[in-house]
Structure 1
Amino acid sequence: MARFAHTPKLPAIQTPAAILRPFAGEKLMLLRAEAKAGAVLPAHAHPHEQITLVFSGRMRLRVGETWLELGPGDVAHVPGGVEHEVVFLEDTVAFDAFHPLREDLLEKLR
C-alpha cells in the first residue's frame, strides 16, 4: 500500500549530531537528517548500502579514506560496511536512502 508523509513532520529520533526522521517502505528506507553547523556524526559503519543527497547546507563526508565536501544537489554513495563520518559545515538538511531497512533506527521510534 502506498504511503505519504511531509518529511519535516515525520516522527524524530534526536541524536547528539542530528535529528533523524526515517520513512520506510518494505525494502527501502529514506531518512531526513537535520543538523546544525559544527555538529559531527562520528565515524561508524553499518552493513546497509547508503546514498546521501544534500538538500540544503554543506557538509564534509568521509567515506573510507576519501573526504568529500557536499552542498545542495550533491549526492554520494557509501557502500555497506565502509566506515564514514560527517562534519556539518552549515545548518544542513540531507536525505539518506538505505537498503536494506535500518531496523535499528526504526526500533528507536517504536
Structure 2
Amino acid sequence: MKTKHAQSASLKGLEVPGAVLRPFAGEQLMLMRAEGKAGWPLAAHAHPHEQITLVVSGRLRMRVGEEWLELGAGDIVHVPSNVEHEVLFLEDSVVFDAFHPVRQDLLERLEAPK
C-alpha cells in the first residue's frame, strides 16, 4: 500500500452553502478540513456516518440534536450517526471533521464534472 499525504489547505475543495470542504480519505476513515466565513450557516443535516469535529481556529455555534454548543479553538464534539446537526460560523473558522465510514457522497460530489 502506498502512503497518502497532503497539505490540508491545498486539498481540492467542494463548495457547499456555508463552507468549503476539503476531504482526505483512507479506506475506512475520512478526515475533512472545513473552512467557514463569519456569519455563514451550514444547514441542518444528518448522515449515517459517525463524526467527530475539532475546531482548529475561530468560533462557531453548533447544534447536535437538541443541544446548542458554542465552540472555539481546541474544542471537540462527537456527532452520533443519523443525528441532525448544523453550524453557524461566528468567526472565520477552520474545523476538522473525522468520519467513519468514509463519506463517499462527498467524494463523488468533489469529483463530479461541473
- TM-score category (smaller protein): over 0.9
Amino acid paired to 1:48: H
1:72 equivalenced with 2:48 (yes/no) = no
1:86 equivalenced with 2:87 (yes/no) = yes
2:31 paired residue number: 30
1:63 paired residue number: 64
How far off is 1:65 after superposition? Answer: 0.5
Amino acid paired to 1:81: N
How far off is 1:16 after superposition? Answer: 1.8
Q: Alpha-carbon deviations, 1:6-63, whole Å to 9, x = none?
A: 0000001011201000000000000000010000011110000000000000010100
Measured on the aligned residues, the alpha-carbon RMSD in Å equals 0.6
How far off is 1:2 after superposition? Answer: 1.5
Q: Which runs of 5+ in 2 are unaligned?
A: none
Give the distance between the partners of 1:29 and 1:8, measured in 2 at CA. 16
Give the distance between the partners of 1:53 and 1:17, measured in 2 at CA. 17
2:4 alignment partner, SS class: coil
Q: Alpha-carbon deviations, 1:49-98, whole Å to 9, x = none?
A: 00000000001010000011110000000000000000100000000000
Identity fraction in percent = 66
1:16 paired residue number: 17
Q: Which runs of 5+ in 1 are unaligned?
A: none
Give the distance between the partners of 1:84 and 1:35, measured in 2 at CA. 16
- After TM superposition, the score normalised by the length of structure 2 is 0.95
Point out 4+ residue stretches in structure 1 off by more than 3 angstroms: none
- After TM superposition, the score normalised by the length of structure 1 is 0.98
1:49 equivalenced with 2:33 (yes/no) = no
